[in-house]
Structure 1
Amino acid sequence: MAVEVVMPKLGMSMKEGTVSVWNKEVGETVNKGESIASINSEKIEMEIESPAEGTILDIKVSEGEGVPPGTVICYIGEGNEPVEEKKARDNQSKPKKERKKISPVARKMANSANLDIDTLVGTGPGGRITKEDVLHALPEREEKKQNETEHQPINMMRKTIASRMMESLQTSAQLTITMKADVTQLTNLQQQLNGTAIARYDTKLTITDFVAKAAILSLLEHPAMNSQYHNGVVETFENVHLGIAAALDNGLAVPVIQHAERLTLIELAKSIKFYGQKAREGKLLHDEIQGSTFTLTNLGAYGVEHFTPILNPPEAGILGVGTMYDTPVYRDDELCKGTILPLSLTFDHRVLDGAPASAFLSTVKAHLEEPISTLL
């Protein structure tokens, strides 16, 4: 009997999932646990694995199509198994255009290059599009680019990000303030600790880890920043659920470290790396990107100093971290080299005013400039 593969429900609030790429075609064999498709929903992208060994009998949802959770997206069974009965049971069957025959490698190459598969001419057996066909089409596409405007469909993740950013700007009173922290002592402490951290805990401490710890300590000292505005009411939280923005190839994800105030610096560093890796691999669960009370975002790797982070609604604050740079500084009337870290804090002016927001950022700065406090 044919096995149904359905669109999974990645969280209680998920309403729709989209098939990004099919890795298999009708008639191809699959092994149990083998990746057959990629799907995305809101800020999550993940692989769908085959629940059984067999043959792809029918594909019900085409690439780029969004369907509710629980919808059958394909059937897997024996190669000679009739599919008429299951098609009759499928009330959501839709007429589909004829699918282009294309190898999985060629499909991935075409998607990476944003090539329209329908425009490719296959030279393989039965008109199948091969890797060589994609490579042959790339130079022609580059020539056309000089005279044409390329239109690329927006995927579900990009649409969600765009919607949330617009909602954030339209429904809150956002203001950004900046400071610079002298992290010369911090960089020295980081170097001193990393040998032990790597040897004992298999974890390298980064500046982001120290900033996250400093932000958590500061939120406990200034709870007004650890809050949100909702329906005319300000809700302040006792626990810190820290969102860490992670840049992806096709968007942005913000995994959440629950009860971050309970973690030591090493535990926090491990959590940041663990969830960052899950985000890059597209393996975050829906519940792992929900419930943050404050967010940290770092653009230092891109050479950015100060910038204007956009609030992650309904949070009242988000801390942006820029790139460190060396500059001359005075210490005890002596001019010497110092390392500066730019900080940018965006806050919701409906929740708190500039003075308490500045006090919070000053506390973050103080913890970074006296980094031993992050260890105690």
Structure 2
Amino acid sequence: MAVEVVMPKLGMAMKEGSVSLWHKKEGDPVTKGEIIANIGSEKIETDLEAPADGVLLKIAVPEGEGVPPGTVIGYIGQPGEQVGGVAAGAAEGPTADGSPSGGAVPDAAPAGGTVSSEAPAHGRDIKISPVARKMAEAAGLDIAKLTGTGPQGRITKEDVEHAIANPPSAPAAPASAEEAAASSDGASAAPSAATAVPSGFTEHTEQIPVTGIRKVIAARMHDSLQQSAQLTLTLRADVTDLLALQRQMSETAQRQHEVKLTVTDFISRAVVLSLKRHKQMNSAYIDDRIHVFDHVHLGIAVALDKGLVVPVIRHADRYSVLDLSRQIKALAQQARNGQLGSDALQGSTFTITNLGAYGIDYFTPILNTPEAGILGVGSVAEMPVYKGDSLQRRSLLPLSLTFDHRVLDGAPAAEFLRAVKDALEDPYRLVL
């Protein structure tokens, strides 16, 4: 009996998920535990493993189509096995490119008439798979001008790929002044593939639909820049003593508490203490009001293969450096395993993002709105620094603070950033 492949529930609040990518085609052999697809929701994207050995008999949900958790998105079984009483090769429903798998089930005709053999005037009535439609829109193709090779003339992903790889020649000049005027005032049709793909590109350009977590990130980052007045301040903190303290404590913490202390743990503690002293930075701009928080819910950005998430340490002001370290590592691991619920990704009052591991110095982090601030951490660099009259080798840490100028001005933001610097340069304050 065929085994159902279902859309998993990625968090308690998940209402819809989609297949970002099928790694297998219908008829391909699969092994239990093998990754067969990438599954994404608005918050998380993860791999989907095959629940059984066999072949992928049928793909019931194409790439990019949203369905509720628990929906059957495919079937795995033995070659020729029936799915729901129908042979796999003739089963109803769309394949990975959105066309009927067996070609025997025609698309439903529009209300009030039959399907015309000619392309309809409106794009929404054209028979085209969801993935093919998204690819055509991204490439600027007029789908009314595409020729479908799927059943009943349906436009498939392969048809769009062919159109992108073989753009039509540029249209001839208008035959009259009236036509030229119509063209110049925007009366012409949608841009063709020739205008969408830069001239000189003869090889096929991959088109990647923006779905799942990538789509959410794109929307949030754009909205953040559109809906706030962002300014970034930078400085360096001398963390020479902090690194020495971290090395001293690391072995003891590992042995007695099974916690590996990192510089990020100390930075988090310094930020929390500074936010308690400079509460205007621990705020949010919501509905023309500045909400100043007594608690600190600290967001820590975590980079994933498919994007970025910001799990939240609630009431971080109640934690010691050791406790913060445990929380940071636990949440980061859950994020990488796709185990975070939506509640763990909401409600932060301030965020830290660290690109030091990539050798980055200063950068401009984008606010995690409606928060008023986000701290970017760069890579520690060894530099010569004068201490009095002597030149010493010191470890300097780049810090980049982006803040919402609607909430506070440059001076109080600079005071907060200076407070973080002072705390890092007097590291024993962070453990007492």
What pairs with 1:7-26 in structure 2 (closer than 5 Å)? 7-11=7-11, 14-22=14-22
Which of residues 206, 226, 242 in structure 2 aligns to 1:170? 226
* Letter paired with 1:16: E
Determine the C-alpha separation between the residues in 2 that align with 1:365 and 1:241.
20
State the aligned residue count: 330
Q: Could you say if the C-alpha distance between residues 198 and 240 of structure 1 is closer, same or farther in structure 2, counting changes exceeding 3 Å? A: same
Match of 2:206 in 1: 151
Mapped to 2, the partners of 1:305 and 1:24 lie a distance apart of 41
The reply on whether 1:372 has 2:399 as its aligned counterpart is no
Q: Displacement, 1:209?
A: 1.1
Match of residue 207, structure 1, among 239, 263, 272: 263
Higher relative contact order (CA 8 A, sep 6+): 1
Partner residue, 1:257: 313
1:220 & 1:159 partners in 2: Cα distance? 34
The 3 A distance-change label for structure 1 pair 48 and 147 is closer
> For the structure 1 residues 6 and 238, does the alpha-carbon distance in structure 2 shift closer, same or farther, using more than 3 Å as the test?
farther
| Post-superposition offset of 1:4 | 5.5
Counterpart of 1:291? 347
How much identity, in percent, do the aligned residues show? 55
Q: For residues 201 and 337 of structure 2, what CA distance do their matches in structure 1 show? A: 34
Name the amino acid aligned to 1:45: E
Give the TM-score normalised by the residue count of structure 1: 0.76
Paired residue type of 1:334: S
Contact 2:20-2:39 at 8 Å conserved across structures: yes
Which residue in the other structure is 1:83 paired with?
Answer: 84
Distance change in 2, residues 1:36/1:362 (3 Å): same
Q: Deviations over 1:118-164 (max 9, x none)?
A: 79xxxxxxxxxxxxxxxxxxxxxxxxx98526233134222211111
Q: Which has the larger radius of gyration?
A: 2
In structure 2, give the amino acid aligned to 1:254: V
Distance 1:149 1:74, change over 3 A: closer
Q: Which consecutive residues of structure 2, in runs of 5 or more, have no partner in the other structure?
A: 102-156, 160-199
Amino acid at match of 2:207: Q
Q: Residues of 2 paired with 1:30 and 1:323: CA distance?
A: 43
Instruction: Give distance in 2, aligned partners of 1:118 and 1:167.
Output: 34
Work out the CA distance in 1 between the residues paired with 2:60 and 2:83. 15
Q: TM-score, normalised by structure 2?
A: 0.67
The verdict on how the C-alpha distance between 1:49 and 1:29 changes in structure 2, with shifts beyond 3 A counting, is: closer
For residues 307-346 of structure 1, give each alpha carbon's deviation from its aligned partner in whole angstroms, at most 9, with x where no partner exists. 1110011111100011111112222432211111111100
Say whether the 8 Å CA contact 2:45–2:212 is kept in structure 1: no
Rounded Cα–Cα distance in structure 1 between residues aligned with 2:24 and 2:207 = 23
Query: 1:97 aligns to what?
Result: 99
Could you say which residue in structure 2 is the equivalent of 1:61? Answer: 61
Q: Report if aligned partners of 1:225, 1:360 keep a CA contact under 8 Å in 2.
A: yes
Q: How far, CA to CA, are the matches of 1:61 and 1:199 in structure 2? A: 50
SS at match of 2:38: strand
Residue 280 (structure 2) aligns with:
224
**Residue 131 (structure 1) aligns with:** none
Q: Distance in 1 between matches of 2:206 and 2:21?
A: 19
Structure 1, unpaired ranges of 5+? 100-116, 120-144
1:196 and 2:198 are equivalent in the alignment: no
Deviates more, 1:16-25 or 1:151-160: 16-25
Query: Aligned partners of 1:84, 1:236: CA distance in 2, in Å?
Result: 61
1:73 corresponds in structure 2 to 73
* Preserved contact between residue 45 and residue 283 of structure 1 (Cα < 8 Å): no
C-alpha contact (below 8 Å) 1:57/1:83 kept by paired residues: no
State the superposition RMSD in angstroms: 3.2
- Asked if the contact 2:21–2:37 (Cα under 8 Å) also holds between the matched residues in 1, the reply is yes
* In 1, Cα distance between equivalents of 2:215 and 2:280: 31
Q: Is the 8 A contact 1:293 1:315 kept in 2?
A: yes
Aligned-residue offset at 1:295: 0.6
Tell me the alpha carbon deviations over residues 169-200 of structure 1, each in whole angstroms, 9 at most, x when there is no partner: 00001111112111111011111111112222
Aligned to 1:108: none
Shift of 1:68: 3.8
Counterparts of 1:29 and 1:252, CA distance in 2: 30
From 297, 303, 321, the equivalent of 1:247 is 303
Question: Per the alignment, do residues 43 and 82 of structure 1 end up closer, same or farther by CA in structure 2, a change over 3 Å counting?
Answer: closer
| Counterpart-to-counterpart distance in 2, 1:306 and 1:75 | 49
